[in-house]
Amino acid sequence: MPEMKTRWDIFCTVVDNFGDIGVTWRLARQLVAEHAVDIRLWVDDLRAFERICPAIDINASQQWQEGVEVRQWAADWQPAEAADVVIAAFACQLPSAYMVAMAEREKPPLWMNLDYLSAEDWVIGCHGLPSVKYKSVQKFFFFPGFQKGTGGLLRESGLLEQRRQFQQDPEAQRTFLQGLGVDRAQGTQLISLFAYENTGLASWLDAMACDSTPTHLLVPEGRILGDVERWLGVEALGAGAVHVRDALTVQVLPFVRQDQYDRLLWSCDFNAVRGEDSFVRAQWAGRPLLWHIYRQDEDIHLDKLEAFLSLYVKGLSEPASKAISGLWRAWNAGEKMTDHWQSTRKHGPELQKHAEAWCLEQGLQADLAAALVQFYLNWI
């Protein structure tokens, strides 16, 4: 831990959706709460921020949220002193006047690019390497990851313990779900669905509707709703809507705060997630999951999908491994899900045990915020 309070600036441009702000907001809060550093979080789109943190005042150029100084990153940049540690999230371009301020400091700051999450092996070789230089200021690559030699994953201290307690407390789960208007009938499997548009959805919903076990599907408001509407044959689905088709109950949820979303994942038997941050949170939930990866040009996201799968299935029996891999591949190709879902259901107990084991194994790594602080301490 640094002796004096260090000042950190995190820069976030919201490219689309909620992952960019989701990751940086989570990191900023954790650095304040667990590492006693001063954080300024510069964000260019406070509306996206407001969705995951309703307390945000979208008109304020400066505000404090949970100990984090949130700054509007306006197009007309006003001069600001450079911090001791500067994090450019996801290769965002810093304001040029800020770069000048970094170079003018007596001791140049530690400048890092916080990269996207990938399970690919090359990440281990690149994590921590120097990147470009601006005058006297050297930039470094910082890669999150699942394996030793990477920067790890965001995981707040005590998270897994909190999660376990919650999952062992049916009353806490009931109260939480009731707060969202969800009444879970006994013997029903609860599934959350956070995904991009997906042509495979209809076949998955068909499979759930025909299942001998009833399913209660919780869908936060968002991009997948159009496909849900088409399957239900209804229009303008909004938070609170509930529709029943045979064994399947579909319920639309409001978008909730990040900590509530965690509880939603912890409450469900199976979680469909997407992007980067919800993907990691579903792993900490210790429940089987389905990842809708963020699509990239030339299908390079498919390499990332395969890299993760090859790590994740280690320790699973051959049939369970085939079932979950088949499900993930079909989902990401927008293909028919029916058979894959049936096989996944068949291996449910093994996949459940495995999800917990995977979570525990990942929980042994240093978390990303601690790794960043350590990187800084090694650097000074």
Judged by the rule CB under 6 A, the positions of this chain that interact with ligand TRH are 15-20, 22, 52, 194, 220, 255-258, 261, 274-279, 294
346 HSE (CA, 13 A, CB side): 14
Catalytic residue among 9, 20, 44, 350: 20
Catalytic residue among 44, 262, 276, 350: 276
What amino acid occupies position 301?
H
How many residues are there in the chain? Answer: 380
Nearer to ligand TRH, 72 or 278 (CB): 278
Nearer to ligand TRH, 294 or 375 (CB): 294
Tell me the closest approach of the beta carbon of residue 84 to ligand TRH, in angstroms. 26
CA–CA gap between residue 136 and residue 133 (Å, rounded): 7
Instruction: Name all contacts of 16-19 with Cβ < 8 Å and 24+ positions apart.
Output: 17/48, 17/275, 17/294, 18/48, 18/51, 18/52, 18/275, 18/277, 19/275, 19/276, 19/277, 19/294
Tell me the closest approach of the beta carbon of residue 259 to ligand TRH, in angstroms. 8
CA–CA gap between residue 112 and residue 106 (Å, rounded): 18
Is 276 a known active-site residue?
yes
Tell me the closest approach of the beta carbon of residue 119 to ligand TRH, in angstroms. 13
Nearer to ligand TRH, 54 or 319 (CB): 54
Tell me the closest approach of the beta carbon of residue 294 to ligand TRH, in angstroms. 4
φ, ψ at 111 (rounded to 5°): -115, 125
Nearer to ligand TRH, 37 or 52 (CB): 52
For tokens 């936060």, the residue is 220
Contact 11, 71 (CB under 8 A): no
Tell me the closest approach of the beta carbon of residue 137 to ligand TRH, in angstroms. 26
Nearer to ligand TRH, 20 or 227 (CB): 20
Retrieve residue 110's tokens.
């530690």
Nearer to ligand TRH, 215 or 278 (CB): 278
Tell me the closest approach of the beta carbon of residue 218 to ligand TRH, in angstroms. 10
Catalytic residues, which ones?
A: 20, 276
